[in-house]
Chain A
Amino acid sequence: MKAELQPSRRIFLSLLPAVTAGLAAPAVSAAPKQAAHWGMLIDTRRCIGCQACTMACSMENALPEGQFRTTAATYCVTTSEGRSGVAMVPRLCNHCEDAPCIPVCPVGATYKREDGIVLVDAERCVGCAYCTQACPYEARFINHDTGKADKCTFCSHRVDAGLLPACVETCVGGSRVFGDLNDPASEISKRLLAAEGKTSVLKKEAGTKPNVFYIGLDKELSGRVAGPSAAEMMWRPAQHGA
């Protein structure tokens, strides 16, 4: 009797991944007619600075303690009229069209996929950290565990499986929208269209053509911020090796 049940269970288990992948696929339009070009839109008005994205990314990508691929920086902005408010700027790798981290890599370990995602070939990377110097967004770091360059991958392993990046999936306020910029029907394309050009990117003057766009980003917060830092409230991981 047991022997008769085993094949059907095996068939069920073998079909399970296909079923789940099929269910997840529409979320990111995994089968576009045109080649996909992934991008992210961050609506800063919806970000509440909960750092759920930070934690989800750390868990998904098993990052060493104190090292992050994405964070949501928080600012207290006071206008000349004396009105104060809190502004959030979630940051991550911008997967730039003209990524300055690519040409400087001495061994060609950093590369851009056809779908726009900038990745690091860990087998080839020598950990020289030249790319971390060249990145204008401080998006890269040397992973303490591997001694190699590390950065946001847009969770390419999840995207390739038809899933959303971990930070997008976990975003409490729905601030992060991920999708195919080449697909007019995608959520990100619709939102970008609806914004009627009122989107911005970090450090536009760097000329790197980021694929991470922002809605509601104060220009004063789009790069180096002129102002004091509440250092005592900042997360400052102990220096590596200390």
Chain B
Amino acid sequence: MNTTVEVLGLTREAAWLPWAVQYFFLVGISTGAFFLSLPGLVWRSASWAGVSRRALLAALVCGLTAPVALLADLHQPGRFLNFYLHPNLQSWMAWGSFFIPLYVGGLLLYAWLCMRPQLARLAGQDGIGARTAAIYRVLAYGGHDNRVAVGVAAVIAALGALLILVYTGMEVMVVEARPLWNTPLVPLLFAVTAFAGAAGLTGLFEAATGHRGAAPLLNRCLARSQWAVLGLLALWWASGLTGVSSSAAQALDSMNGSPGWWLTGAWLAGTTLLALWLSSRRSQSLVLVSLLALHGAWLLRWIVFMGGQGLPKMGAAFRGYALTVTPDSLLGIVGTAGLFLTVYIVLTSFLSWEEPAAA
């Protein structure tokens, strides 16, 4: 057995920057939140009415912010045109460029159809200016509560959301060169944490609007999602340890010499367990458990993308990613958060999300 020391080598810096983490995080949460909006807004379940409304807000805020993060990762946003001018349909990323507008378009149509009655009511509200009332009136387009149209739009958005979940997972899973990514558990982990994050963001919006009555409902969703996350993580680990999955085994092998990786793994497992405990035992808890769920969804993506790119494909050296105060690093994350906040402020200023959805 030889002992080898790498004296001189070259590691490549991360090519997918924190923008990518932000995109996968936001678009995943948007799709999860969209599905949480269905019970109250499409099936008109009374117990879900308020929660679904806040979930729709979460879906819209994240759904409108996410594509901007994706465009920013292209270095020059105008390049996105090439996705449509020269699509290579062997690539999951190429398919993604068609799924994103399908989903966002379907989501906007669905949200508008759900909001039409409220827009009509706002148009007739006392105390608003004539110009504002006219805008509400135009947007309401009669203000009908057309359940069939809402259902059709929901089907379109649901198809888009499912395709988004599939393509974001598959895009990462098919990369054989990165053992950490090359596992069928990645799409499932992305989907489950997307739902957990969506429930978390909806929970935060519930808390922000003072509607804590839905806490038990959201905590039930969160508890199930945390169980699923832990189960999938355990499955991945077991498949690597036993050698059932060669890619998982390779990934574990390459992490072996890094205390940072073990600490990160322990942190992810610990915070997920804490979220599970809180959601199971403290059914009225809302803010902390919601933050933990969002943290878990974001951390998993950070580990997969930024951590995964730090594992060497060739040679021996890790290439850890360090946040810097630059537009493609920390400022990018802050910028995305700023856009998120802006969209939230615009939507909550223009529309009321506190009242139940039943029209």
**Do A and B originate from a single complex?**
yes
Q: Are B16 and A129 interface neighbours, CB within 8 A?
A: yes
Q: Are B10 and A230 interface neighbours, CB within 8 A?
A: no
Q: Which residues of A contact B74 (CB under 8 A)?
A: 126-128
Q: Are A74 and B9 interface neighbours, CB within 8 A?
A: yes
Residue B267 CB within 8 A of the other chain: no
Q: Which residues of B contact A103 (CB under 8 A)?
A: 88, 90-91
Residue B314 CB within 8 A of the other chain: yes
Interface-side segment among B171-179, B289-297, B334-342: B171-179
Q: Which residues of A contact B316 (CB under 8 A)?
A: 224-229
Q: Are A107 and B82 interface neighbours, CB within 8 A?
A: yes
Residue of A nearest to B16 (CB): A129
Q: How far is the CB of B253 from chain A (nearest CB, A)?
A: 8
Q: Which residues of B contact A78 (CB under 8 A)?
A: 2-4
Cα separation A239 to B316 with both chains bound (whole Å): 19
Residue B324 CB within 8 A of the other chain: yes
Contacts A128-B93, A130-B91, A242-B324; is A136 near B5 (CB within 8 Å)? no
| Closest 5 A/B residue pairs (Cβ) | A147-B75, A129-B15, A229-B317, A227-B4, A106-B94
Which residue from A49, A130, A235 sits with its C-beta under 8 Å from B93? A130
Q: How far is the CB of B131 from chain A (nearest CB, A)?
A: 42
Residue B263 CB within 8 A of the other chain: no
A-B contact pairs, 20 of them (CB 8 A): A80-B2, A86-B7, A100-B177, A124-B82, A126-B83, A127-B75, A133-B16, A147-B76, A225-B314, A226-B253, A227-B3, A229-B316, A229-B318, A230-B8, A234-B9, A235-B10, A237-B13, A239-B13, A239-B324, A241-B327
**Interface positions of B (Cβ within 8 A of A):** 1-13, 15-16, 73-76, 79-80, 82-83, 85-88, 90-94, 96-97, 171, 174-178, 181, 250, 253-254, 257, 309, 312-318, 322, 324, 326-329
Q: Are A141 and B12 interface neighbours, CB within 8 A?
A: yes
Cα separation A97 to B94 with both chains bound (whole Å): 23
Cα separation A107 to B32 with both chains bound (whole Å): 29
Q: How far is the CB of A37 from chain B (nearest CB, A)?
A: 23
Q: Are A241 and B328 interface neighbours, CB within 8 A?
A: yes
Residue of A nearest to B6 (CB): A229
- Interface SS, B side: loop
Residue A40 CB within 8 A of the other chain: no
Cα separation A74 to B176 with both chains bound (whole Å): 26
- Interface SS, A side: loop
Q: Are B177 and A141 interface neighbours, CB within 8 A?
A: no
Q: Which residues of B contact A132 (CB under 8 A)?
A: 12, 15
**Interface positions of A (Cβ within 8 A of B):** 49, 68, 71-80, 86, 91, 100, 103-109, 124, 126-130, 132-138, 140-142, 147, 202-203, 206, 218, 220-221, 223-231, 233-237, 239-242
Which residue from B2, B174, B326 sits with its C-beta under 8 Å from A241? B326
Q: Are B177 and A239 interface neighbours, CB within 8 A?
A: no
Chain A CB count within 10 A is highest, among B13, B83, B174, B257, for B13
Contacts A105-B88, A227-B316, A239-B322; is A220 near B4 (CB within 8 Å)? yes
Q: Which residues of B contact A140 (CB under 8 A)?
A: 12
Which residue from B16, B88, B253, B326 sits with its C-beta under 8 Å from A108? B88
Contacts A104-B91, A105-B88, A128-B74; is A133 near B15 (CB within 8 Å)? yes
Which residue from A104, A141, A218 sits with its C-beta under 8 Å from B15? A141
Cα separation A11 to B328 with both chains bound (whole Å): 54
Cα separation A135 to B314 with both chains bound (whole Å): 11
Which residue from B91, B171, B181, B329 sits with its C-beta under 8 Å from A105? B91
Q: Are A226 and B4 interface neighbours, CB within 8 A?
A: yes
Q: Which residues of B contact A236 (CB under 8 A)?
A: 11
Cα separation A80 to B3 with both chains bound (whole Å): 8
Q: Which residues of B contact A49 (CB under 8 A)?
A: 8
Q: How far is the CB of A67 from chain B (nearest CB, A)?
A: 9
Which residue from A106, A138, A225 sits with its C-beta under 8 Å from B6? A225
Which residue from B181, B309, B314 sits with its C-beta under 8 Å from A223? B314
Q: How far is the CB of B307 from chain A (nearest CB, A)?
A: 14
Q: Which residues of B contact A229 (CB under 8 A)?
A: 5-6, 9, 315-318
Contacts A107-B94, A147-B75, A242-B324; is A233 near B8 (CB within 8 Å)? yes
Contacts A104-B174, A106-B93, A225-B6; is A126 near B79 (CB within 8 Å)? yes
Q: How far is the CB of A92 from chain B (nearest CB, A)?
A: 11
Q: Which residues of B contact A68 (CB under 8 A)?
A: 10
Chain A CB count within 10 A is highest, among B12, B74, B328, for B12
Q: Which residues of A contact B327 (CB under 8 A)?
A: 241
Q: Are B16 and A104 interface neighbours, CB within 8 A?
A: no
Q: Are B82 and A202 interface neighbours, CB within 8 A?
A: no
Q: Are B177 and A136 interface neighbours, CB within 8 A?
A: yes
Q: Which residues of B contact A235 (CB under 8 A)?
A: 8, 10
Q: How far is the CB of A7 from chain B (nearest CB, A)?
A: 48
Q: Which residues of A contact B7 (CB under 8 A)?
A: 74-76, 86, 230, 233
Q: How far is the CB of A123 from chain B (nearest CB, A)?
A: 9
Cα separation A224 to B257 with both chains bound (whole Å): 13
Q: Which residues of A contact B83 (CB under 8 A)?
A: 106-107, 126
Q: How far is the CB of B287 from chain A (nearest CB, A)?
A: 35
Residue of B nearest to A202 (CB): B314
Q: A106-B87, A109-B82, A133-B15 are in contact. List 17 more A-B contacts (CB 8 A).
A: A78-B3, A79-B2, A104-B174, A105-B88, A106-B93, A107-B82, A108-B87, A138-B10, A138-B12, A140-B12, A221-B4, A227-B3, A227-B4, A234-B9, A239-B13, A239-B322, A242-B324
